[in-house]
């Protein structure tokens, strides 16, 4: 089931990226910078065509056998539930804490990066935060309010990192279009990235202690 989810996610991600890029290019701020430039319309046309291609890939997946098997597997998993008898809750709690500690160790390792915060490093930290957050949300009711609160802290960080990632994808997509991007637009994107990184660092520091002692 995990492999099927991964395959679906890999199809959804590029479609979302193209959608976000179109939204940014159509925003008022970008339109003011690119007003009257043919390059903007050229890029938009290419991105709309690319978005449609990626959506078609998603439509093919969700109408095919892989998605049907995924839905059936998920339905069986949900219907099975937890056994009423012989359920070892202390063991589950121990395993959940071990998984969360491992996930948070990954978050801390990914948070160590150069001052420039390269796109790949930002993306890796965002993914690590997301995985740890999902564990918090799933096991929070059993592990306590401190773990649920940790999940909220991770979501805050993940949201900011997501904005940085969207901007990085936008710049990469524009570079791949091989069109002349106005210097004013590149400056605007660089300044926005700097602001987002300042927000990330502020939120990271504000969230406080990330060690297991603070939530385990």
Looking at the predicted structure, is the pLDDT value of residue 164 above 70? yes
Residue corresponding to tokens 């070892």:
88
Instruction: Tell me the C-alpha distance between 167 and 111, whole Å.
Output: 19
Q: In which band, very low, low, confident or very high, does the pLDDT at 180 lie, cut at 50, 70 and 90? A: low
Domains of the chain: which residue ranges?
1-80, 89-216
Contacts of residue 51, defined as CB under 8 A and 6 or more positions apart, other chains included, come to 15, 18, 19, 22
pLDDT at residue 70, rounded to an integer:
85
Contacts of residue 139, defined as CB under 8 A and 6 or more positions apart, other chains included, come to 96, 100, 147
Length of the chain: 216
Looking at the predicted structure, is the pLDDT value of residue 133 above 70? yes
Looking at the predicted structure, is the pLDDT value of residue 85 above 60? no
């Amino acid at each position: 089931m995990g492999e099927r989810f991964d395959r679906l996610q890999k199809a959804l991600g590029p479609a979302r990226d193209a959608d976000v890029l179109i939204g940014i290019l159509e925003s008022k701020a970008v339109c003011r910078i690119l007003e009257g430039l043919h390059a903007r319309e050229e890029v938009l046309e290419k991105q709309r065509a690319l978005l449609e291609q990626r959506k078609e890939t998603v439509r093919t997946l969700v109408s095919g056998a892989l998605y049907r098997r995924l839905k059936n597997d998920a339905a069986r998993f949900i219907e099975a539930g937890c056994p009423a008898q012989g359920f070892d809750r202390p063991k589950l709690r121990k395993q959940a804490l071990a998984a969360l500690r491992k996930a948070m160790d990954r978050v801390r390792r990914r948070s160590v990066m150069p001052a420039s915060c390269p796109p790949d490093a930002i993306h890796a930290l965002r993914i690590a935060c997301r995985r740890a957050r999902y564990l918090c949300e799933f096991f929070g009711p059993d592990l306590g309010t401190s773990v649920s609160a940790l999940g909220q802290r991770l979501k805050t960080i993940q949201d900011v990192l997501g904005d940085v990632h969207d901007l990085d994808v936008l710049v990469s997509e524009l570079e791949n279009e091989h069109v002349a991007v106005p210097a004013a637009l590149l400056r605007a994107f660089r300044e926005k990235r700097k602001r987002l990184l300042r927000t990330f660092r502020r939120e990271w520091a504000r969230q406080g202690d990330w060690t297991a002692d603070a939530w385990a």
